[in-house]
Amino acid sequence: MDELHLSYGLAGALAAALALISFKMRQVPVSEPMLALVLGIALGPQLLGLVEISDHVRDLILLEGSRLIVALSVMAAALRFPASDLGRVVRPVLLLLALVMPLAAVISGAASLVMGLPLALAALIGACLCPTDPVLASSVVSGSPAEKDLPGRLRHTLSVESGINDGLALPLVGLALVAVLPAETLGATAGHLTYQVLVGVVIGVAAGALAGWGVRLATKDRELEPAPDLILPLLLAVAVLGLAKVAHTDGILAVFVAGTVYNRLVTGEEREPQQGVDEAVNRYFALPLFLVLGIVLPWDQWADLGPAAALFVLLVLGLRRLPLVLALARPMQLQKQQAVFLGWFGPMGVSSLFYLAHSLDKGVTDPRFFAVGSLMVAVSVVAYGLTSSPGRNLYARSAGRDSS
């Protein structure tokens, strides 16, 4: 356990150092999660050997840590833009959720077959890799450089999609688990997943409405103190996540719904200070999890996958999302360069880690499952970490600085 505490201490020190140079970090082609991942690799058993984490502790940290971080991140995504602007992105978001996300699961699962995996396990891997990660996506769409270089509608589309599809991926993962785990039945699983989604939405609506009306009441005759004004959305996210978990519902979806309803009820003046949590959550709070991921990466199991693993990675990066978004550019009312940007920047990160850990918690025991899933997440962190800043600059040069 001392080794784990050491990793937390180093992750905190890394986050503090990066915070001091936060503006410069926006200008370089290296993201904070990528640096945390590399530090974890250096500390882990493959290099310095300072920290080693057992599989049991690994699974617990990845499950609960990713659950909390994704919840805070989707809350930040729900507050990133005024709710009144949601109508501008309904069409592209619906197409991304209804077509791109399930097809991305199919493509990612089919790509994993090149490594000789069973069809059921491949389908589960595809489902875990299909959601767009709100943490890594935030580095592309938030901050002053993104506001300067990218059109608002494009940033809003990616924010809303990454917030919603993390919760809506649960039914795909749940159905895939039926094929992997013999104890699961399709009928019972489908009914339970329907309950999880519907009741999760109800909890989110109720919690968001209560919080929004509470803020209105609290600010009717006086202003909120700065501290609760800033931290309220995070407290709301934690509360909704806990209530949804107790009710055995889709907690991630419930948090995003609560954030959206809350956003709709509060005024711009009340929202503005709370948007400050966005950068803190997505750029720094998630760093310990990426550091732990770097420590526990299964290098020996990756080697056992053979050369086919490299082909799998290339297929997923090239086919999982970009061709689909390009094909739907016209119905989504996107210019070509916008479709290319949106198609490339659909990273796999903390949300995929959550579903990998969730599947392990449900009883998946094949070691290839975590090996393949963690390989793709690690590559995604590096690939999007290296391309986020250059990609944003390239878009600005090719399309001009249209902020519409």
Mean pLDDT (the chain) is: 86
Which pLDDT tens digit goes with each residue over 281-313?
A: 767 788 888 989 999 999 999 999 999 999 999
- Position 221 confidence tier, pLDDT thresholds 50, 70, 90: low
Q: Which pLDDT tens digit goes with each residue over 252-263?
A: 999 999 999 998
Return the minimum-mean-pLDDT range out of 96-110, 178-192, 234-248, 377-391.
178-192
Enter the CATH code of domain 2-20+30-128+148-399.
Answer: 1.20.1530.20
C-alpha dist (Å) from residue 123 to 274, 278, 318: 39, 33, 18
Q: What pLDDT score was predicted for residue 254?
A: 94
Write down how long the chain is.
404
pLDDT tens-digit readout, 11-35:
677 767 766 666 565 556 677 888 8
Average pLDDT over residues 385-395: 85
Q: What amino acid occupies position 330?
A: R
Q: Residue 392 has what pLDDT?
A: 84
More confident call, 37 vs 140: 37
- Structure token digits, residue 281: 């959550």
Burial of residue 343, with CB atoms counted within 10 A of its CB: 0-12 exposed, 13-18 middle, 19 or more buried: buried
* CB contact at 8 A, 135 and 158: no
Tell me how crowded residue 53 is: count the other CB atoms within 10 A of its CB.
Answer: 21
Residue 322 confidence (pLDDT): 96
Q: What residue has token string 């974890």?
A: 40
Mean pLDDT across 239-261: 92
**CA atoms within 13 Å, Cβ hemisphere of 170:** 24
Is the model's pLDDT at 88 over the cut of 80? yes
Which residue is it, tokens 């107790």? Answer: 246
pLDDT for 50 equals 81
Reported as a single tens digit per residue, the pLDDT across 59-71 is 988 999 999 999 9
The two structure tokens encoding residue 44? 């882990």
Residue 164: which of 282, 259, 264, 85 has the closest Cα?
259
Nearest residue to 131 (alpha-carbon basis) of 358, 291, 366, 329: 358
Which residues, including other chains, have CB under 8 Å from residue 279's CB and lie 6 or more apart? 22, 138, 142, 143
Per-residue pLDDT tens over the stretch 339-355: 999 999 999 999 999 99
3-state secondary structure 65-119: HHHHHHHHHHHHHHHCCCHHHHHHHHHHHHHHHHHHHHHHHHHHHHHHHHHCCCH
